[in-house]
Amino acid sequence: MSKLFITKRRIAIVGITGALVLAGGGAAFAYFTATGSGTGSATVGTTGTWAVTQASSTGTISAGSGSSVITFNVENTGKGDQQYATATATVNSDSSGDITSGGDSVSGCLASWFSTKVTSDSGAGTNVGGGDTVQVMVKVTMPSDATDNQDACENATPDVTLSIS
């Protein structure tokens, strides 16, 4: 009988121990819920500028014929992507309407005698990455003018400005 009692006692101890372990294990899985929030801030950079430089020029302009094509490099000097909508080219003039060449006026050679046209622009309306460069090509012509003597423009190299906006 003593052996039977020991076995029943063992079973009871093991059962009680198991119940306590399970009850203690259940307590380990209990938790509380709560909510919270916090605020941080991010820094947004600013736009960079466009650096516009002449890369090359080809061709010769004559009154009523020929053209010169100027290739401009347009660099995004900012750190992030930027876009511009249009590139516009103009022949520079002084206060009297004469062209400038190297910043100096060419007397009697009117800027209005020249035409400019952007013929190729790989950057307009596209994302240009920070530090990236696109090219813009500008065709400069001198249409024929039957009423004005355009001799003052011979051998001139008109300054052309490319504006990005």
Beta-strand ranges (E) seen in the chain are 50-58, 61-62, 65-76, 87-91, 98-101, 104-110, 115-121, 133-141, 160-164
Residues 137 and 87: beta-carbon distance below 8 Å: no
Evaluate whether residue 148 is within a structural domain: yes
On whether residue 24 sits in a domain, the answer given is: no
Question: Is pLDDT at 2 greater than 80 in this prediction?
Answer: no
Task: Supply the CATH number for residue 67's domain.
Answer: 2.60.40
Query: How many C-beta neighbours within 10 Å does residue 19 have?
Result: 10
Residue 93 lies in a domain: yes
Burial of 83 (0-12, 13-18, 19+ CB in 10 A): exposed
- Write down the pTM of the prediction: 0.75
Residue 112 counted as domain residue:
yes
What's the mean per-residue pLDDT of the chain? 87
Residue with tokens 């050679």: 109
Is residue 116 included in any domain, yes or no?
yes
Q: Total domain count for the chain?
A: 1
At 73-130, the pLDDT tens digits run 999 999 999 999 999 999 999 999 999 999 999 999 999 999 999 999 999 999 999 9
Would the pLDDT of 17 be above 90?
A: no
| pLDDT for the residue 21 | 55
β partners of residue 96:
none
Which of 47, 50, 91, 90 lies closest to 73, judged by CA? 50
The answer to whether the CB of 116 falls within 8 A of the CB of 138 is yes
Task: Tell me what pLDDT residue 133 has.
Answer: 97
Question: Residue 7 — pLDDT band, cuts 50, 70, 90?
Answer: low
Inside any domain, residue 144: yes
Please check whether residue 19 lies inside any domain of the structure: no
The whole-angstrom separation of Cα 60 and Cα 66 is: 6
Q: What is the domain range of residue 141?
A: 50-164
In this prediction, residue 159 carries a pLDDT of 98
Q: Distance between CA atoms of 161 and 164, rounded to whole angstroms?
A: 10
Q: Of residues 4 and 104, which shows the higher confidence score?
A: 104
Is residue 117 within 8 A of residue 89, CB to CB? The reply is yes
Tell whether 23 is covered by a domain: no
What residues contact 11, with CB distance under 8 A and at least 6 apart? none
Instruction: Say how many C-beta atoms besides its own lie within 10 A of residue 111's C-beta.
Output: 20
Q: Give residue 37's pLDDT.
A: 82
Write down the pLDDT at residue 19.
59
For the cut 80, the answer to whether the pLDDT of residue 32 exceeds it is no
